[in-house]
Amino acid sequence: MNLPRALPWLDERRSALLAEIGVPAWWQPRALLPRPAGEGDVGAPIGTTVRVAPTPHAPRTPPPDASASAHPTPAPTGCPQAARADFAPVPLPLRDPTPRCEPAPDTDLATLDWPELEAAIHACQRCGLAACRQRAVPGVGDRRPTWLIVGEAPGEEEDRQGEPFVGRAGWLLDRMLAALDLQRGHGVYIANVLKCRPPRNRNPEPDEIARCAPYLRCQIALLQPRIVLALGRFAAQTLLAEGGCLPPEEAARVPLGRLRGRVFQARLGELTLPVVVSYHPAYLLRNPVDKGKAWADLCLAAETLASADGAAPGAPTA
Ligand code: URA
């Protein structure tokens, strides 16, 4: 197939992947482009984009299933504490060589290791969702990841299989990750705010989120990711409120579109982690016009890592 000649970072393979899922891959942050020899700075302002002609390929459609579960955003309001990030390198935390999960004292979870945490999730009766689940869905992937990706809650297929993002939304997520040379299990861990499926994929209730939050807290403490990608309104609200980036009431009001396109520094347990917010893949399946923005968010996250590492632009970050 004849792909349009893309810029070097957006090579033929990546262009093909993006074309397959219908992402208009015009967004290519400069910081990820190869630099001329001798040029030292990696950074370029967010929003500096290089446009690549849209591909002529018809996007492939994802496999059908019924598990889509992203939700519309509420009415706009201000977001004064979340300044648009300049492209200063973000200092990333050093990893604790022997991580343990020490949940906040307001929970009754003791210090847990992975088997204990997963057993606790599978046996959980903290809220009414326990009664409707087929399987709890703790999370999946590399337990020493660079990336932690947080979604909303299991859908129908996830509830059946016990793994997050295995339905249509997962199909799209996997392909967007592949365009960054990422895949679940290799430098990436995927979890949800809620570990059990809400009936008929309804929105999570605040009380359910509060009761489930200690599990995500534990996961973050054990995983020690270097960057967090929050997919959708509920993941963004939970992580930004928990991380002290926004007061909870404000996090609940600000529309997702106002939270994306910037890098938050969230205090999550003992770690201060960069958090990038993006659209939920299920929302993107319904609103493909926003796929380009979601791709830009992924690039922003990759760029944040690359610039913190001083890595060669375009180098794998996982
Ligand atoms: N939507 C989510 O938020 N998480 C999943 O695991 C599946 C769909």
The residue ranking higher by pLDDT, 30 or 39, is: 30
- pTM value is 0.76
DSSP class of 231: E
Atom of ligand 1 nearest to the CA of 232: 3
205/189 Cα distance (integer angstroms): 24
- Decide if 16 is inside a domain: no
- In this prediction, residue 62 carries a pLDDT of 67
- In this prediction, residue 53 carries a pLDDT of 41
The residue ranking higher by pLDDT, 203 or 96, is: 203
- Decide if 302 is inside a domain: yes
The residue ranking higher by pLDDT, 130 or 54, is: 130
- Decide if 77 is inside a domain: no
204-253 pLDDT, tens per residue? 999 999 999 999 999 999 999 999 999 999 999 999 999 999 999 999 99
Share of the chain above pLDDT 90, in %: 61
The residue ranking higher by pLDDT, 144 or 111, is: 144
- Burial string for 109-119 (b: 16+ CB within 10 Å, else e) reads beebeeeebbe
pLDDT tier for residue 69 given thresholds of 50, 70 and 90? very low
- In this prediction, residue 268 carries a pLDDT of 96
* Choice from 165, 171, 200, 233 to test ligand 1 binding pocket (greatest atom count within 8 A of CB): 165
Our CA angle for 95, 89, 302, nearest 5°, is 75
Q: Which of 252, 250, 151, 239 is nearest to 206 (CA)?
A: 252
140-195 pLDDT, tens per residue? 999 999 999 999 999 999 999 999 999 999 999 999 999 999 999 999 999 999 99
Domain that holds residue 165: 113-318
- Decide if 92 is inside a domain: no
Domain count of the chain? 1
* Choice from 192, 279, 286 to test ligand 1 binding pocket (greatest atom count within 8 A of CB): 192
Residue 92 has pLDDT above 60, yes or no: no
pLDDT tier for residue 85 given thresholds of 50, 70 and 90? very low
The residue ranking higher by pLDDT, 80 or 181, is: 181
CATH number of the CATH domain containing 246: 3.40.470.10
For residue 150, the CA-to-ligand 1 centroid distance in Å is 9
Residue 20 has pLDDT above 60, yes or no: yes
254/73 Cα distance (integer angstroms): 8
The residue ranking higher by pLDDT, 133 or 34, is: 133
35-62 pLDDT, tens per residue? 555 443 333 333 333 343 444 445 566 6
What's the whole-number average pLDDT of the chain? 79
- Decide if 254 is inside a domain: yes
- Decide if 24 is inside a domain: no
- In this prediction, residue 6 carries a pLDDT of 39
- In this prediction, residue 308 carries a pLDDT of 85
152/204 Cα distance (integer angstroms): 8
For residue 140, the CA-to-ligand 1 centroid distance in Å is 12
Q: Which of 104, 128, 131, 103 is nearest to 117 (CA)?
A: 103
Q: Are strands 147-151 and 227-231 parallel, antiparallel or unpaired?
A: parallel
In the chain, DSSP finds a helix count (H) and a strand count (E) of 11, 6
255-286 pLDDT, tens per residue? 999 999 999 999 999 999 999 999 999 999 99
Q: Which residues line ligand 1 (CB under 6 A)?
A: 67, 69, 151-155, 158, 164-165, 167, 169, 192, 282
- Decide if 11 is inside a domain: no
- Decide if 258 is inside a domain: yes
Residue 64: other Cβ atoms inside 10 A: 7
**Region 308-316: what's the mean pLDDT?**
60
* Choice from 67, 168, 231, 284 to test ligand 1 binding pocket (greatest atom count within 8 A of CB): 67
